Amino acid sequence: MERYLLSHSSVDFSRFAQPDFNHVHWINETLKSCTSDLNQLDQKASDLVLQLQTQMKDVMQTLDHTCQEAIVSIPRVLREIDAVRIDALTLEADLKTLQDDNQVIVIIIIVIFLIRDRIF
């Protein structure tokens, strides 16, 4: 019977994520349709508690799963960051070598032009 109640009644849990969420107002709105019958109110409140517990369990499982994925991925991310750092250092060294080589080539070209100008 409880399973039927849980699946039959639809409760909007999306409002929990709103920044201005008021839990007292939400509970009152959710239960206001059955305030005239105390047995119905008690049943609806019990049903609501079960739904909230189920939602809490789902959120906890999702959070736990996300944390586990993050914990597993951190070493891989650190390795990738280290590889990028090494690549950046290698690129920096290669650019420095290229710059030094270019300076030598430019000096050689200048010397060649100076010699050519003296000859002609």
Rounded to a whole number of angstroms, the CA Rg of the chain reads 35
Q: Is the pLDDT of residue 1 over 60?
A: no
Q: Is the pLDDT of residue 43 over 50?
A: yes
Task: In whole angstroms, give the CA distance from residue 62 to residue 59.
Answer: 5
Report the Cα–Cα distance between both ends of the chain, in Å, rounded.
Answer: 108
Question: Sign of the CA dihedral 48, 52, 53, 57?
Answer: positive
Contact by Cβ (8 Å): 32, 51: no
Question: What is residue 11's predicted lDDT score, i.e. its pLDDT?
Answer: 76
Question: Sign of the CA dihedral 104, 107, 111, 117?
Answer: positive
Question: What is residue 3's predicted lDDT score, i.e. its pLDDT?
Answer: 38
Q: Is the pLDDT of residue 67 over 90?
A: yes
